[in-house]
Amino acid sequence: MSKNRTRISAVALFSSLTLVLSGCSAELQRGFSPDASGVTNHTDRIIGLWTTSWIVLLGVGVVSWGLIAWALIVYRRRNGATGLPSQLRYNLPIETLFTVIPLILVVGFFAFTARDMSAIEAKVENPDIHIEVIAKQWSWDFNYVDDNVYDSGIQAQFTGTEENIFETLPTLYLPVDKSVRIELNSRDVIHSFWVIDFLYKKDMFPGHTNNMYFTPLKEGTYVGKCAELCGEYHSMMLFNVKVVSQTEYDSRMGALATQGNVGQLSTEYDRNQNLPGGDPTIRG
């Protein structure tokens, strides 16, 4: 019996040390989310909500596990004991506690989530940059509305000979430290615009326009993908986002104009031309 207790104590001590030491890691501090601190004006808020939620839930778990262990030890069957141990029924304070605490947790999670969602979804009245992103099976079109140029992509081409597939993907350019409005539309089925390190994604519906508002704060190249199963080659619906200086952004706009990509890609390329609700060329 003493050997079993020693083993159990050793396992409990090892588990506790592992949990405490893992708390020092950067991964745990950001809740195992991508290392996206400061990438946009929203990522720190999202990381804070995510990590705080896990800390609260871990605290609930520790209390629950502790109560379970306490009940197992205190109310275990003793040597020579027969029949059921004494039963506890209809304890109003405990039943009230088990109702009130979960209710407080649910209301708290809802309140903080609603607060942060309101901030993330807040409309920017006069954004510095307006870009329309159009999803299609299985790639992306980018209309740079302010500069009246466009870029059209094709799905990822896996030939087995490429060294880095991401160098061949369609790339969305954004200037750093400028507020951006991304207008989201789809040409065919439901897609979802997801830049992984932005920690946020939004669905794209045929015949309906969604919007995202944010400010990129850190230059770099970020991976994007469709996050809604949209058909056979969904996994190849990849793209890059390059956050660059204003000078490099202007240079890219000039390069697109030089290539002849002047104007805007319109709804004439949409697969759905008979959507209900009026003129299919007008996005609702």
What pLDDT does residue 176 have?
97
Neighbours of 140 (CB within 10 A): 25
What pLDDT does residue 178 have?
96
* Separation CA 22–CA 20 (nearest Å): 6
What pLDDT does residue 72 have?
85
pTM of this prediction exceeds 0.85: no
**Residue found by looking up tokens 């160098």 in the block:** 167
Tell me the DSSP string of 19-53: HHHHTTSHHHHTTT--S-TTSBTTHHHHHHHHHHH
Q: What is the mean pLDDT of each run of 10 residues along the chain (284 residues)?
A: 59 61 58 74 92 91 91 81 74 86 93 95 94 95 96 84 78 96 95 95 93 96 94 93 96 96 90 64 46
